Amino acid sequence: MLSKARVNAAGSELELHWADGAQARFHAMWLRDNALDDKTRSAGNGQRLVTILDIPAATKISAAEIVGGTLRVTFTPENKSVTFPADWLHNHRYDRKPSDAIAWTSPAITRWTGADMQANVPRARLSDMQQNRDTLAHWLGAVERYGFAVVEGVPTTSGALCDIVKTFGYVRETNYGRWFEVKAEVNPSNLAYTNLGLQAHTDNPYRDPVPTLQILSCLENTVDGGESTVVDAFAVVAALQAENPKAVELLSGFPARYEYAGSNGVRLRAKRPMIELGPDGELLAIRFNNRSAAPTEDVPFEAMASWYEAYRRLAELIEDKRFEVSFKLAPGEAFIVDNTRILHARTAFSGHGSRWLQGCYADKDGLLSTLASLVETQSPKAAE
Amino acid sequence: MLSKARVNAAGSELELHWADGAQARFHAMWLRDNALDDKTRSAGNGQRLVTILDIPAATKISAAEIVGGTLRVTFTPENKSVTFPADWLHNHRYDRKPSDAIAWTSPAITRWTGADMQANVPRARLSDMQQNRDTLAHWLGAVERYGFAVVEGVPTTSGALCDIVKTFGYVRETNYGRWFEVKAEVNPSNLAYTNLGLQAHTDNPYRDPVPTLQILSCLENTVDGGESTVVDAFAVVAALQAENPKAVELLSGFPARYEYAGSNGVRLRAKRPMIELGPDGELLAIRFNNRSAAPTEDVPFEAMASWYEAYRRLAELIEDKRFEVSFKLAPGEAFIVDNTRILHARTAFSGHGSRWLQGCYADKDGLLSTLASLVETQSPKAAE
């Protein structure tokens, strides 16, 4: 509920006070641009019907009045009046001190270590995810919050992992196909197709945009070893920042390079930092993959030794067992990782059995969109 | 050809001189990490077989010797000798002054205005692209350099635009489908499906990752109006920077927000700056779309008025006719845009005819990979 509205700066600004004690200033231009009336926004699909150039540069507020739970604002020179819900203004206020921290993470994310998650791996059965909206919302919410989750009850038929993607979004097809085999091969085009252990990594850092989700599904697994592990790289980066903020500055402040040219007709290359921050310092993504890291060329000579020290320390923390959750996939089990955040690894394997996994990629925007839509329309019981 | 190699800093650094006068320093750690021998890199697929933690932190150079066109380096404590081609070292040297400019663009890109491109729109026939590697390489090269190109001879059958994508990569399927109809509708879920003009924009800024390529293909076009225009936003950003560098700093320095919730089950949201720079200042992407711009919440109150002035000036430049290339698609024609760089627009249309376009998304990593592979294996004649 609004308690006070005052027009300041000759109509350029508005100062609002809410009954809960919050207060915030807004600019006339911001309010006009974000007006909610049906001449400014399509009532049908919510899209804005005007461009910034349709709004006079000289826009000011000529009047502002609290009317019940809303604020009525009149703009000159258009002489246009619009209404904003008090709660909408409260939720969208921007008059607050921005964080000057680097590598902070969104409140939607809970960073974790092995101790937090080893006994609490989020799991659901595929058939429940397909049939029960609350189960699906819960599982998708875990992927948003923790960056990984397990699926059980996946048919052990080729390509069935795409059914997991269908519950929330769309497969990202690449040169590896809509899905791909992860089996030991004699002349592998990729080291993933051997029985070697693989250091914790994100997939395809040589791609731009990288696939933001990966699913690995198990069809057979009777070898010795071949266990899967996952690591929350956002927790690792937070630990690195706590012990040496300069290391995070170095790894986020210069691009790294990645390359994959293991198959005919494929020359994938990308130039992006190992730790990607948004302009406001938000930790957005990690790219970490020893196999496809190309020579670093964008770090000045004077900074290269320190950059390598930071890289080494990041790798040490990534291999620190305290960050690791491990499990051995059984046939019919799959796991999903947020490939911008969660590193995955496997231990070497041997023995007379077979290990047959399939992998596929998808994107997070579809997953988060489906989740947001489910949460909006969720049954009250599940939302408790 | 190398003319001199000197080990410095007690074996931590190497100083190289080439016959062409170039010189550069390298760190022992960088050289060891990027060694090209078959214990460090898989001879089959080029992937690195060791991690940074397999390389001793105390690595130094104990000897360096020019042998013909190569450099032979011995590392302690591993007592390991490897050989680098002189040209490889020349091409990968990093001992140079980094740019302190913001919003610079890669040499692979040529920024353009309407005067440059209106009479030089890159074009190829789909059948030639499918049958002739040099034609395809030429067309893909134009997409890399100019960010857009036209395709002729596309079958006017539904979904045929996916055949364009097949020449270089993979369709990015989204909630709009593998491809989607762009036709005027009575109750449109998106303003694209009306006869309104659309301001120059990038598609789907509310998606993360955004689709980095878009194709629009024409099946029918007998209306008055409905012309297509494209604008090189990288040229526009360069112009904005030339007249007001602070404006580029503001639009790249704070995230904007985008949202689309026009269909059931879809709540797409992204938080990314309008102008995206890499950590080294490289201009990587623009997101510009009045329809799906959500309220800006991440610009501090003190900077918001200036941010809006920068946004307005960017919009004015985008609408400046000097940046525009325009054409009217005929049935059987399509165009592709780099959706991280090129804005596209359409004029309003009316009349008794019909306008039926189809659109689809794809990604640039596949296109650039196919291009790089074609160029590597191109016939000498075409490479001239």
Please, how many CA atoms are within 13 Å of residue B6, restricted to the half-sphere of its CB? 9
| Mutate: best of B36, B94, B339, partner A, most A CBs <10 A | B94
In degrees and rounded to multiples of 5, residue A332 shows phi and psi of 95, 0
Q: Give the residue-averaged pLDDT of A74-82.
A: 98
- Partner residue facing A175 (CB), from B210, B364, B366: B366
DSSP per position, B179-241: SEEE---SS-SSGGGSSS-EEEE-S-TTSSSPPSEEEEEEEEE-SEE--EEEEEHHHHHHHHH
The per-residue pLDDT for range B225-268, each reduced to its tens digit, is: 889 999 999 999 999 999 999 999 999 999 999 999 988 999 99
pLDDT at B6 > cutoff 60: yes
pLDDT at A226 > cutoff 80: yes
Which residues of A fall within a CB distance of 8 Å from B188? 44-45
Q: Give the residue-averaged pLDDT of A100-126.
A: 95
Q: Give the residue-averaged pLDDT of A41-53.
A: 95
CA Rg, chain B, in Å?
25
Which residues of B fall within a CB distance of 8 Å from A268? 365, 368-369
The reply to whether residue B308 touches residue A278, judged by beta carbons under 8 angstroms, is no
Which residues of B fall within a CB distance of 8 Å from A293? 48
CA A110 – CA A3 distance, rounded (Å): 35
Nearest-CA distance from A121 to chain B in Å?
26
Q: Are residues A176 and A268 in contact, defined by beta-carbon separation less than 8 angstroms? A: no
The reply to whether residue B46 touches residue A259, judged by beta carbons under 8 angstroms, is yes
Q: Is the dihedral of CA A334, A340, A342, A346 positive or negative?
A: positive
User: What pLDDT is attached to residue A383?
Assistant: 43
ipTM for the complex shown = 0.96
Nearest-CA distance from A175 to chain B in Å?
7
The reply to whether residue A170 touches residue B171, judged by beta carbons under 8 angstroms, is no
> Is the bond into B209 cis (omega within 30 degrees of 0)?
yes
The per-residue pLDDT for range A172-204, each reduced to its tens digit, is: 999 999 999 998 877 788 888 888 889 999 999
B382 or A19, which is more confident? A19
Mean pLDDT of chain A: 95
**What confidence tier does B384 reach under pLDDT thresholds 50, 70, 90?**
very low
pLDDT at A380 > cutoff 50: yes
* DSSP state, residue A251: H
DSSP per position, B30-91: HHHHT--STTTB-TTT--B-S-GGGS-TT-EEEEEEEETTEEEEEEETTTEEEEEEHHHHHH
Which residues of A fall within a CB distance of 8 Å from B34? 295
B220 or B191, which is more confident? B220
User: What pLDDT is attached to residue B381?
Assistant: 58
The reply to whether residue B47 touches residue A316, judged by beta carbons under 8 angstroms, is no
User: What pLDDT is attached to residue B210?
Assistant: 98
> Is the bond into A209 cis (omega within 30 degrees of 0)?
yes
User: What pLDDT is attached to residue B378?
Assistant: 79
- Of B326, B337, B333, B332, nearest to B149 by C-alpha is B337
**What confidence tier does B379 reach under pLDDT thresholds 50, 70, 90?**
low
Task: State pTM to two decimals.
Answer: 0.96
Which residues of A fall within a CB distance of 8 Å from B95? 301
